[in-house]
Amino acid sequence: DAKTTQPNSMESNEEEPVHLPCNHSTISGTDYIHWYRQLPSQGPEYVIHGLTSNVNNRMASLAIAEDRKSSTLILHRATLRDAAVYYCILKCSGGGADGLTFGKGTHLIIQP
């Protein structure tokens, strides 16, 4: 799976939007972009995924650049419960080894 680059940490205020960036310049045409988050003392939680088009769900939105070399996870109105480590992961849709490759992610801090 191709590599992703994320900032180590970001800070935001409660009830404000948060934009978490991810660079994946070596992405291939068959790679899906997945986002997971891990709250303190919990297992990772699936947030959202996409291929080319922007995606929305009840948790977040995913904005994918036209060249697919970067993406942004958008939390529209952050709450204290959104404080977590956010992982951007590329997952190939083709054959081969399964499983997710986690980097260090972005530690999101929410200030009240």
Partner 1 sequence: DADVTQTPRNRITKTGKRIMLECSQTKGHDRMYWYRQDPGLGLRLIYYSFDVKDINKGEISDGYSVSRQAQAKFSLSLESAIPNQTALYFCATSDSSGRAIYGQFFGPGTRLTVL
- Please say whether the beta carbons of 110 and 16 come within 8 A: no
92 binds partner 1 (CB under 8 A): yes
99 binds partner 1 (CB under 8 A): yes
The pair of three-digit structure tokens given for residue 90, joined into one six-digit string: 């590329």
φ/ψ of 81, rounded to 5, equals -75, -10
86 binds partner 1 (CB under 8 A): no
Q: How far is the CB of 44 from partner 1 (least distance, A)?
A: 5
Q: Compare residues 40 and 112 and give the one whose CB is closer to partner 1.
A: 40
- Please say whether the beta carbons of 4 and 86 come within 8 A: no
Cα 4 to Cα 2: distance, rounded to the nearest angstrom: 7
87 binds partner 1 (CB under 8 A): yes
Q: Which residues bind partner 1 (CB under 8 A)?
A: 30-32, 34, 36, 42-46, 49, 87, 91-93, 97-105
